[in-house]
Every structure is written in structure tokens, then in C-alpha cells.
Structure 1
């Protein structure tokens, strides 16, 4: 009964437009009042959720991404992608997807990918004759590639929750992320050919080389992260700090576009993003404590396993649950609440925790572009200056691709576990 009160109030608050973090906190507070639990549980559980050295990597990676963006990296990645694929039919659409693949190593979040690339690519695509809905759809869905590749904030959260190697999680998401990107490239090309969208001029090798050199320093950040963590030279948190220094040096002295007067605003933006994420994690941890105290995780696990003990059906049921949750809940909150709940179910049917982490992140990423609360969907539609219904219509074939990749990744564990196995 108390669990119904908790969930009922939580979804009611979301429905009336209360932010996820405050929906979690208010519903948890009401539960504590009704159940007669001391309020000291709130600071204790929030602190327990944030008291991790690895969590320090989050503000550092956000700061590194902000420094690289201010240093002109976004345009350089777009220029390189355009030089490589811009001459193909639907070249700007392909450039959009390819830029998301390159930008993934900078931002670590899908939303920042959508905002950074969308602000440049959507107006450019509309100007060249691409449909506004199509431009927004490509930008929104391709941003789901970002959190699959390092530095991925969702992967950091999972590693913190379950004590899994973050380096292994970074590697595990690489092949599924690239597979997802190629799927979107194929869909974008097929639609562009059908609609006869424009293509650009083929660039010479010298131009491609020049644009590659411009994007090289940004792409090298991913190499530094993986080399440092997997080589045992530094922890994920130390890797994030190294990336901050690297981003500052590249932006200031290599690209020479980062101005010292911009640093205060960059730090302020980083503080805001970090505060919102950590506040969300803290409140989600309190909400998760309430769920555990009510025995909800065990009930969900028993509920799924009571329907079927067939591993294939269990995986499909978990995926269905995650897709539904992804439509309504912010990714990090969903991870903090549901990963500890669903991991035992996944392990009971023989899924590796690293493999399950990749599947969960991918499923929740799809939700960022789905109505009613997909944040990437809203941001892309805003840049395109169209209602989200037009974007959703154009997203349908991309949803098909994303679902196909999700099913393949879920049922072919080697796609996620191959790279981590090389570094055991």
C-alpha cells in the first residue's frame, strides 16, 4: 500500500511538470511522514549515494567538455565529418550522425550532444533543403550514441553503483555505440536517397587531412582516457582531471579559441550541471532506499520471474520495462533506482553485469528521444522550431534501427564483452 502511495505521488508530480529530482524528493518525504520514519534518513541516504571518489569524475568530465566546446571543438568535428561524408547523398544528415560519434568522446551526455551539434547542424540542414522534422529527428536520435562511448556519465554511475570497473564499462559500450551509429547512418542515407536530399562536393585528401588534424586533438582525449585507466596509470577520477588540463591546453594553446575571460562562465556552467546531476543522484538514492525498505526490488524480481523463467523472455521483459521508464524518467535517476533492482534478475539468468549495464544504458538512451518527456526530442524540436509531433513522425524509422541494435546487443553478449576481455 505504501509503495502504491510512493509511486502514485511520484508519477502525479511528473505529470504536472515537477522536475524529476523534486518529484523524487517530495514523494520520498511524504512516504517518510506517513511511515513515521525519522527525517535523518534523507541526509544519510543522500550522502551515501554521493560518498564515492569516482563521483568526482562527473564534474571534471563536464568541465573538460565545456572547455573543449568553448575552444571550438564542435565546429572542427563537424568540419571533419562533413569533409569525409558530406559529398554523399544526404551528406549533412550523415555529417550530423558522424559528428555525434566524434563528439561522444567530449561530452559524455546525450543532451549536451543534442544542444551543441543541433545548434549548428539543424539550421544548416534546413537552409540546404532538408525537412525540419528530419533534421531534428537525426540530431535527437544520433545523440544517443554519445553515452555509449567514453567518457560516459551513465557508465560512471553504473560502475559506482555496482563496483564494476569503469574502464571495462567504457570498453563494453564501444562496439554497441559504433554499431548504433552505423545503423543511423544507413537509415539517414536511405531516407535521403528516397527524398533526393542534396549532397555536397567531394573534398580532396588534403582538405580531409586538414580537417582531421583539427579534430585530432579532441578525438585524442578518448585515447588518453582509455589508455590511462586500462593501463593502470590513473583512476577514472584522475583521468577526468587529466582531461581538464588537456582540454584547457588544447583550447588555449592549440586551437587558440579559448579565452581566459570565458573561464568564469565555463566554471559556472559546470557547477550548475554538476549540482543538478548530483542533486538528482542524491534524491534518487533516497527514493531507492524507500523502495528497498518496502521490498519493491524483490517484488519486481519475483514478478518478472513468476511470469517466465525463460532467459529470452526475461530479457525482453526487462527491455520493455526500461523503454517505458526511459519515456518518463531522466537516465541517471533511472539508473540509480533500477540498476540495483534489475541486476539480480539479470544475473539470475546468467547475464554478465557489464553486459547488462550496456543494455540498460542503451535502452534508456532510446527513451531520451521518445515522447512524452524525451529531453533530446524537445531540444532538437526547439532548434528546428517545430512541434515535437513532427519530429516524432520522422523518428519512426530511426526507432526501428535503435530497437534492432538493442535486441542484437542484448542477445549477443560478445559485442559488449569482447573488448573488456582483451584487457583481463
Structure 2
């Protein structure tokens, strides 16, 4: 029965996707069919879906989306990009490096890959083209860097991973072999994402430098001007303060990730209305509309994916997969390699949040059986899936960069593969050396 149900769930899901059904419909349709086969009351499907969005951590999702939209409307993101530009100076490929760093900064505000790509791309792609960068290359750098938005905390996918993983305890066999595992929390995931985020950014900066040196791409100016750097920092003081306020409050324990999102909203309103004076009621309403649209889409996926994941767990499908895989090999590096390749493949075709909700119930029991820390697993999953934003056919960041920069999707895809390759190397580095994810949480007491 277990094998039969696995075919129904994944086969039905893939079939519906293949005929063009939205991912929410595909997940919900496959789950509903499985419920009917199991002769379960379909009302339970709705109850599970409702319960899945009734927990406190998930309140951070729409709050962070609104905070990111307000910060963009308030001019906070524009000032962060200006700081990155002035720091680039005359460095070879400086504007490309500034784009990566701007995405890193903005990722600490938006928590979204496409939002980061759009916000930074609108400013940086024209600036790079003006300095004789190829338009398609400028768009490719932006699209590849936008994925940093879901690694650097606060990260919406990390929130979703935490929610999905908190309901999965380590199997008794794993506890008997390795002892109790460290507690997983969204705050700990946020802290753990900092160093891996900088590692992923470093691979992009290095790739940009090598390509720019070959192409002769220069920075914004012929030399650093301390006056310009100082002006940018003075003008962007309140923008720089935003990530420190949000993350500092979380790491110090002053407020939870959910509460920090609310703090970010009020901070954005205060800065936008009274300091930058760029916010208006119309812009606030636009930000609310954007938040409603994005949150609604995400929550619909979460509804369907929660039911799909619950069925997997109830039928012990993840345990069967884990036993089968561990029957082939128990080498941690080999298992990580297979998992990363699976995540990269899934990221090419599936929206990140849905992928997390489907994969976590299968992946986490396997990694528990190998003694892996769940926080480290979460970071690797999100880092690997972040590359999916820059890989077709889904490749959301590529489409956003195309719309913002004017280059065609085909042109951007042709220029983005070096960044994808080095990013994959970064993911393997993070996976094979758990201390890169776990050192900082342990340092601050998690």
C-alpha cells in the first residue's frame, strides 16, 4: 500500500504539473485523490490546511513581506544600493560586486529572491550599462545575486523550513545512536544563515571579478573618493541601521523573529514619513496590496503542501525512502551530494516554498539517521534551492531581471551559468563543513 500511495501522490502531482495545472492545484489534487483512495474524510484535508497557517511563527511571513515593500517605498533600499556603489570605486568589476553586495544588504530586509532582484536591478543594471557592461551580463549578475535574498536573514524560506521541520522529531533509532539533537528554532536558523550567506556572496563576487577582468569592466569611478563614501553613509545611516535593528533584536533575544517583523514595519513607517519623507498614503496602500498578493500566493501553496507533507509522514514514506537510501550507502558526503543534486533539480522546476514543504519530510529523517544537525540541514536546503531562482525553466530571477534590464531571457541564461557553477561549489562547501553554519549559533548561545 505504501508504494501504491507514493505513486499516487508523486505521480498525480507530476501529471497535474505536466498538463499545466498551478502548483497549488497539483499538490491539493494529488492529496485529495490519495485521501479518497485511503477512504479518509476529505474534510480532514481542509482542517490540516487551516491548522498549518494558524501558528505564531508563520505570522512573520506577511509581516516581513510588508516590511520589505515599505522599506523600498521609503527609500531605504535605494540608499543601501548607493552605499554599495560608492564602496565599489575603481575595482575591476566593481559595479558587479556592488550589485552582489546590494543584494546581500537588501536580502536582510526583503527575505525574497525576486523582490531583491527587482529592487536592486532597477538601480544597478542601468548603472552597469552606462559603464559599458554588456546588458545581458549586468542582468545575469543581478539575477544570480538575487537568490541571496532567501539566505541572508530574515529569510521567508528559513521561516517555512522551521515550520515544516518543527513537526518532525528525530527517529528513535537516530536518538539511540547519536543522542538528543540540538533544538531547532527559526531564530537559530536566522543566525546560522549569516556566514553561509556571505560564502555564497563571495563565490559570486569572485566569479564577477574573473569575468570582468577578462572583459575589461571597470567600477563606478577612477579612484575612491572619501567624500562620496562619507556622503553615501551619512545619507544612508537610517538604511544601514535597519538590518542591525532587525537582526540585532533577534540575536540578542529582545524580540522573536515574528515580533522583529512588526518592529521593521513601524521602523519603515517612521523613517519613510518623518526622516526620508518619501512615504505617502498611496505608497503605503501599494505596499499593502503587494503584501496581500504575495502572501496570498504563498499561503495557498502552504495550504496544499502541508496536506501533501502530512500524508507522506502518516504513511511513513520518508522512513521507507531513508531506509532504502541508507541501504545503499551511509557515507555522509555521498548522501549530501545526492541530496544537493536533487535539490538543484527540484529548484529548476518548483517554487521554493513548495519545494521545502514537500522535500523536508523526506530529507530530514534521512539526515537525522546520519547524525546531521537539523539547523545545518535547513541552511543547505535553502542555499541549494536559492540557485533555482537563476536556473531555467522556472528561474524567477531571470524573468524579473529580463523585465527590469531589457535583455532577453535567452541572453541572460547564456551569461548566468558561471555564477550557477560557482554557487553550486559554495553549497557543497557549506554542506561538507557543518561548522560554517553552526559556529555562529553556538557562539551566541544557541
Shorter-chain TM-score tier: over 0.9
Give the conservation status (yes or no) of the 8 Å contact 2:318–2:365: no
Larger displacement relative to structure 2 (16-25 or 270-279): 16-25
Q: Per-residue deviation at 1:74? A: 2.5
Q: CA deviation at 1:108?
A: 0.6
Q: Distance in 1 between matches of 2:163 and 2:68?
A: 21
Distance, in Å, in 2 between the alignment partners of 1:123 and 1:231 is 39
Instruction: From the superposition, tell whether residues 133 and 233 of structure 1 become closer, same or farther in structure 2 (CA, over 3 Å).
Output: same
| Aligned match of 1:389 | 410
Distance 1:95 1:405, change over 3 A: same
Structure 2 counterpart of 1:143, from 139, 142, 146: 146
Aligned residue number for residue 219 of structure 2: 199
Change (3 A) 1:289 1:162: closer
- Would you say 1:272 and 2:272 are equivalent positions? no
> Which residue pairs with 1:60 in the alignment?
63
Q: CA deviation at 1:418?
A: 0.9
Quote the residue 1:252 is aligned against.
273
The SS at the match of 2:236 is: helix
Unaligned runs of 5+ in 2: 167-183
Distance 1:75 1:377 in 2: 21
1:360 to 378, 381, 387: 381
Match of 1:227 among 230, 239, 248: 248
TM-superposed CA distance for 1:372, in Å, is 1.4
Give 4+ residue runs of structure 1 displaced > 4 Å after superposition: none
Could you tell me whether the CA contact under 8 Å between 2:88 and 2:219 is conserved in 1?
no
Offset of residue 63 of structure 1: 0.9
C-alpha distance in structure 2 between counterparts of 1:136 and 1:303, whole Å: 43
- Residues 7-406 of structure 1: pairs in structure 2 closer than 5 A: 7-163=10-166, 164-201=184-221, 202-406=223-427
2:319–2:365 Cα contact (<8 Å) kept: no
Further displaced range: 286-295 or 300-309:
286-295
Equivalent residue in structure 2 for 1:3, among 6, 10, 18: 6
- CA–CA distance in 2 between the matches of 1:183 and 1:362? 13
Task: Give, in whole Å, the separation in 2 of the partners of 1:129 and 1:15.
Answer: 42
The 3 A distance-change label for structure 1 pair 259 and 351 is: same
TM-score, length-scaled by structure 2: 0.90
Secondary structure of the residue aligned to 1:368 is: helix
CA distance in 2, matches of 1:62, 1:297: 32
Preserved CA contact (<8 Å) 1:86 1:94: no
Q: 1:238 to 1:199 in 2, by over 3 A?
A: closer
Query: 1:6-58 CA deviation, whole Å, 9 max, x = no partner?
Result: 32232233234433222212222233334433211221111221121111111
Structure 1's unaligned 5+ residue stretches are: none
Aligned pairs, number: 424
Report the Cα distance in structure 1 between the residues aligned to 2:164 and 2:29, rounded to whole angstroms.
Answer: 23
Q: Cα distance 1:8–1:389, how it changes in 2: closer, same or farther (>3 A)?
A: farther
Question: Structure 1 CA distance, aligned partners of 2:61 and 2:235?
Answer: 26
Aligned Cα root-mean-square deviation (Å): 1.8
Helix, strand or coil at the partner of 1:373: coil
Q: Is the 8 A contact 1:105 1:151 kept in 2?
A: yes
Distance in 2 separating the partners of 1:123 and 1:142: 16
* Equivalent in the alignment of 2:179: none
Q: Following the alignment from structure 1 to structure 2, what is the Cα–Cα distance between the partners of residues 153 and 232?
A: 19
Question: Are the counterparts in 1 of residues 312 and 361 from structure 2 also a CA contact under 8 Å?
Answer: no
**CA displacement at 1:3 relative to structure 2:** 2.3
